[in-house]
Amino acid sequence: MKEAPKIVLKGYRDLKNKVSRESSKSLRTALEKYGDQLIFTYKYCPDLKNNPNAIIAAKAIVAAENQNKGEDFYQSLAGHDELFNEEAIKKLAFEYGLDQKVFQEDF
């Protein structure tokens, strides 16, 4: 039996960008429905001009991805400007059950 073709979606994300946050919800729905046919890759493009701390969140999400919890971590941070500091993000990582040593190394 022939394997179904994979569709690769490439995107860019910024936690403070409303369009980026809203599109993430749509992509999550598509992945739940067509997950075996889709591959979604993205890069974080923090808007440092309007949010200098966005790079901290982007680095934390990548560190969480290395433990297979990146998308959930992204969703937790989205729209929560109060979490855009290193101390709050590390606390959230601990609450998520991420391996702190690995997280710290990757962060």
- Stated pTM of the model: 0.72
Q: What share of the chain is helix, strand, coil (3-state, %, to 5)?
A: 55, 15, 35
Distance CA 38, CA 36 (A): 6
Mean pLDDT by 10 residues, the chain (107 residues): 71 74 77 80 78 83 90 78 79 89 93
Write down the pLDDT at residue 102: 94
Q: Count of H helices and E strands in the chain?
A: 5, 2
